[in-house]
């Protein structure tokens, strides 16, 4: 498998291309990463102990159960902090957020949101030191905690089925080391032409690098988050949603019906609109506590 210099090195073997996200789409890793790594580290580094239950609920909504699911960790952190400080229950418990306006300005203006960029500012900005300490701690916790998680049921079967007539490219924001570990650990890397990782650019950039020789309706992006849909739309290719909390049924539906529809050219249209509508209904815009 090639995992770098995608545009120059990628060689198609079929007329069809299926791009697949990894975390939360092929593997049930979103929940454990957020609930056991991101959230505990956030509570510790941002002094959220007095409102830990509210912080957890807010964090899970932003990162797992809303339309911001799967967004960049720094964008997500800013939204969590903003939502939490607006919650009356948090104010009632005496929660006073730290001053993170420097962090807000960076998120809203920086061309790249990654650890290297945070670390560069952390030398002179105390709040950014706090942010990078949290982010690196998250990575350490993930490396220690996340292993032995198999792909969702029907993922292996789907890969085996479509690899006979379509090229498969993984399109992920996961760092390459972790991505390679996850796909080789369970022996499903054999079906994959390319592992596109965080180091290869954004999801939209990875798709753009490999889609060149295929007709637009011969390229399908599979993902579990609105950002995956946006990456597909940006490249003018089809999108197949894996519904959060309904992943197994989504993959079974793809394996038994929609993979064949895609290869036969009958997925786009009413079928795709139905799949997109059901996906959209899974992820609300507004937090449930605001409606209450």
Q: What pLDDT, in 10s, does the model give residues 140-171? A: 999 899 989 999 999 999 999 999 999 999 99
Average pLDDT, the chain: 94
pTM (predicted TM-score): 0.88
CATH architecture for residues 6-28+150-282: 3-Layer(aba) Sandwich (3.40)
Q: What pLDDT, in 10s, does the model give residues 210-268? A: 999 999 999 999 999 999 999 999 999 999 999 999 999 999 999 999 999 999 999 99
Range 110-132 average pLDDT: 93
Distance CA 22, CA 173 (A): 8
Is the pLDDT at 287 greater than 90? The verdict is: yes
Extents of the domains making up the chain: 6-28+150-282, 30-145
Is the pLDDT at 7 greater than 80? The verdict is: no
Is the pLDDT at 5 greater than 70? The verdict is: no
């Amino acid at each position: 498998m090639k995992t770098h210099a995608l545009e120059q090195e990628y060689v198609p073997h079929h007329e069809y291309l299926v791009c697949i996200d990894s975390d939360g789409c092929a593997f049930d890793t979103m929940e454990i990463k957020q609930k056991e790594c991101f959230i505990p580290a956030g509570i510790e580094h941002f002094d959220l102990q007095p409102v830990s239950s509210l912080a957890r609920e807010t964090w899970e909504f932003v990162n797992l159960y809303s339309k911001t699911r799967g967004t960049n960790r720094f964008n997500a952190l800013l939204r969590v902090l903003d939502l939490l400080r607006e919650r009356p229950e948090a104010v009632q418990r005496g929660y006073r957020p730290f001053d993170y306006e420097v962090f807000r300005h960076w998120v809203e203006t920086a061309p790249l949101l990654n650890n290297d960029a945070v670390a560069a500012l952390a030398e002179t900005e105390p709040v950014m030191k706090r942010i990078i300490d949290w982010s690196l701690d998250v990575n350490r916790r993930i490396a220690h905690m996340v292993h032995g998680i198999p792909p969702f049921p029907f993922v292996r079967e789907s890969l085996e089925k479509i690899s006979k007539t379509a090229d498969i490219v993984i399109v992920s924001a996961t760092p390459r080391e972790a991505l390679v570990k996850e796909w080789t650990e369970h022996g499903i890397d054999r079906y994959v032409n390319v592992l596109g990782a965080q180091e290869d650019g954004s999801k939209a950039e990875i798709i753009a690098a490999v889609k060149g020789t295929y007709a637009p309706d011969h390229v399908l992006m599979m993902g579990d988050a609105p950002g995956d849909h946006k990456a597909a739309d940006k490249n003018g290719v089809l999108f197949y949603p894996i519904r959060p909390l309904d992943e197994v049924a989504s993959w079974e539906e793809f394996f038994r019906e929609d993979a064949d529809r895609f290869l036969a050219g009958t997925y786009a249209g009413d079928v795709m609109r139905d799949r997109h509508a059901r996906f959209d209904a899974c992820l609300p815009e507004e937090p449930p506590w605001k409606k209450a």
